[in-house]
Amino acid sequence: MPKGGRGYLMYHDQVSGKLIELPTLTCAHCNRVVVLNKDRQRQRNWCMKCDAYVCDLRVCVTDCNPFQQSIDLAIELDGKGDFLPRGYNGELLFDPKLRDERKPY
């Protein structure tokens, strides 16, 4: 997937009979798909550390925790206990030290 996770949502509006397509972005930190509002006035969030779009969840804006790193960690820790990368509101459900001690830098 390209950085920024661009895509679109297509649905059929049964009232008007129209096929509607809306652009989307996927948050690099929590993996939520966000339907873009063309009338949005404020600037979209971008993480300078992972160079990707992040949604408006406070935890996604304030801390760089890429979802792909969480998936890689879950694969590495397979069979070593339960591992849930994120909660409903995007918060980490694991000790960040697990991730940090595996970083190559």
- Domains: count for the chain: 1
Give 80-101 as a 3 state SS string.
Answer: CCCCCCECCCCCECCCHHHHHC
> How does residue 6 score in pLDDT terms, banded at 50, 70 and 90?
confident
Q: Is residue 105 part of a domain?
A: no
The verdict on residue 2 lying in a domain is no
Residue ranges making up the domain that contains 54:
7-100
Residue percentage of the chain with pLDDT more than 70: 79
Does some domain include residue 28? yes
The per-residue pLDDT for 102 is: 65
Exposed / middle / buried, residue 67 (Cβ in 10 Å: 0-12, 13-18, 19+): buried
The number of residues in the chain equals 105
Q: Is the pLDDT of residue 3 over 60?
A: no
Residue 1 placed within a domain: no
Give the lowest-confidence range in 60-64, 67-71, 101-105: 101-105
Q: Under a CB-based contact definition with an 8 Å cutoff, are residues 9 and 21 in contact? A: yes
